Amino acid sequence: MKKLVLLCHILCMFFTIDAIAQSAKSNLYKGTIDGKIAVTIYIKEEENPCTADIMYTSMYRYDKSGNWIQLDITQNKKNENQFVLVEYGFSGVMILKKESLNFNGIWISPDSKKQLKVNLKEVRMTKKEIESYEDKMEKVNYENNDC
């Protein structure tokens, strides 16, 4: 009987972990800043296991540059379609509004003297592309946060 109870607990833990892993959703957006600077943004959203709130991990790059910039995303609790994306090292901020499958808003320089229009459209990804972006995001996070 004890073995059966132990087996049930192990199976429940497996299904819980599997359900958490499957609840993650990844999206890729391509668009422009200032109508002429091509950018790509990768956003992963998943449920926070402690609070059940949605948490985001993200990165973006200027397409002419190969370097990815880590983003810290905060969602407006009062208006869930509004987001603030802060670049790692506070090198810029985006304030975006989600409209259907698109994001629109502004990019603001750290000194707030430049404010440029941002337009992004969601792009479909293959499973292989998702894995590639996940690997890149893990590398960027490691580079920025490793002791």
pLDDT digits (tens, 9 = 90+) for 123-132: 999 999 999 9
In a domain, 11, yes or no: no
In a domain, 41, yes or no: yes
Q: Which range marks the domain in which residue 80 is found?
A: 26-145
Contacts 24+ apart (CB under 8 A), 126-130: 129/28, 130/26
Pairing of strands 69-75, 25-33: unpaired
Mean pLDDT over all residues of the chain? 87
Bridge partners for 69 per DSSP: 60
In a domain, 118, yes or no: yes
- Alpha-carbon distance 73 to 53, whole Å? 13
Model confidence, pTM: 0.81
Half-sphere exposure of 119 (CA within 13 A, CB side): 5
- Alpha-carbon distance 19 to 8, whole Å? 16
pLDDT digits (tens, 9 = 90+) for 94-134: 999 999 999 999 999 999 999 999 999 999 999 999 999 99
How much is the pLDDT for 21? 47
Amino acid in the structure at residue 121: K
In a domain, 12, yes or no: no
In a domain, 2, yes or no: no
In a domain, 107, yes or no: yes
How much is the pLDDT for 13? 52
* C-alpha of 91 from chain center: 17
Domain CATH number, residue 119:
2.40.128.120
In a domain, 62, yes or no: yes
Number of domains in the chain: 1
In a domain, 50, yes or no: yes
For the record, the structure tokens of 18 come out as 């599997």
How much is the pLDDT for 2? 52
pLDDT tens for the chain, 147 residues: list them.
555 444 444 544 544 444 444 478 999 999 999 999 999 999 999 988 888 788 999 999 999 988 999 999 999 989 999 999 999 999 999 999 999 999 999 999 999 999 999 999 999 999 999 999 999 999 999 999 887
